[in-house]
Amino acid sequence: SRQRTVYTDASGHFNVRAPLDFIPTHVRVLAGEGFSATEEVNVTTEKGVSLISDIDDTIKHSNITGGAREIFRNAFIRDLSDLTIDGVREWYNTLHDMGVKVHYVSNAPWQVYPVLSSYFKLAKLPPGSFHLKQYSGALQGIFEPVAERKKGTLDRLMRDFPERKFILVGDSGEADLEVYTDVVL
C-alpha cells in the first residue's frame, strides 16, 4: 500500500494521479479523525472497448429541458425507481458482461453524486467511472455552453485511453449528438 497527503481546493474537491508499481484493489480517503471512505478500484486496461454514456435523460429520466423545478423534483423528490429508462439496464449489463468498461458522463455537479449512487444501485446498473462537474460557485461555468463542458471530459477520457474503442451513448436534450460528432471528427 501507499499513502499520500492531498489537500482539497476551496470547494473540498481533489484530483490525484499517482503512478504505482502495483494494482490497488481499494482506495481509502481519510478526511479527518474518524471520517473516511473506502472504495473498490476497477482498472480500465489500455486496450478494449469503453461505453461513454450520458446520464440525464439517457440512463434516467431527468427532464433537463423542463427547467430547474422539474430537475429538482426528479433529482430529490420522485421515487428513484420511477426514473428508470426501459432497456438501459439490460443493454449496459450485457455490454459490461462482455468486458466493456463504462464511463458515466454528466454536466450534473458532484454534489448530486450521493443521489446518483443510490439510483445506480437501485437500478442495478453496471459499475463504472463517474465524470461529473465541479462547481465552486453559483455562477462558475454558467456562461460556458453545456456542450463544451461535456466535450472536455470526453477529450480527456479518449486521451487517457488512446488505444481503446469507444461507444458513445446520449440523448438530444443537451446536444449529445453534436458533441459526439465533433469529438469523433
CA distances from 162 to 65, 147, 152, 158 (A): 33, 22, 15, 6
Q: What is the pTM of this model?
A: 0.79
DSSP H helices, the chain, are 68-72, 88-97, 113-123, 146-160, 176-184
Q: What is the C-alpha to C-alpha distance for residues 113 and 130, in angstroms, rounded to an integer?
A: 9
Provide the 8-state DSSP code for 80: G
pLDDT in tens, 146-168: 667 788 889 999 999 999 999 99
Answer with the residue of higher pLDDT: 29 or 51: 51
pLDDT mean over 36-65: 81
pLDDT in tens, 75-133: 555 555 566 777 888 999 999 999 999 999 988 888 888 888 888 888 899 999 999 88
Q: What is the C-alpha to C-alpha distance for residues 143 and 181, in angstroms, rounded to an integer?
A: 22
For 47, how many CA atoms within 13 A lie in the half-sphere containing its CB? Answer: 0
